[in-house]
Amino acid sequence: MASVSDDVILVLGKRRLRLTMVEVNEIYSRSVTSSLQARTLHSELKRAKRSDPGKREVDVTEQMRQELLLILDAIE
């Protein structure tokens, strides 16, 4: 079973969204082929996945946030 330290935190302004590695991998796989902002999100998720546990945070810019919403909508 994965521990909380395996999770990735998306920092959305003042909000922090904790994602499991399964969720991160789904977003990661869908973000590679889209716009520049989506590719930036993809790159940041890749970096976070490779980071040490407890240091897996992604500061999501407003542009990245819009792409994240599109990706999450497509997942639903």
pLDDT tens sequence across 2-13: 556 689 999 998
pTM: 0.76
**What tokens appear for 28 in the block?**
């990661």
Task: State the DSSP H helix or E strand holding residue 11, giving kind and residue range, or none if neither.
Answer: strand 8-12
In angstroms, rounded to a whole number, what is the distance separating the alpha carbons of residues 61 and 67?
10
In angstroms, rounded to a whole number, what is the distance separating the alpha carbons of residues 38 and 52?
23
pLDDT at 63: 87
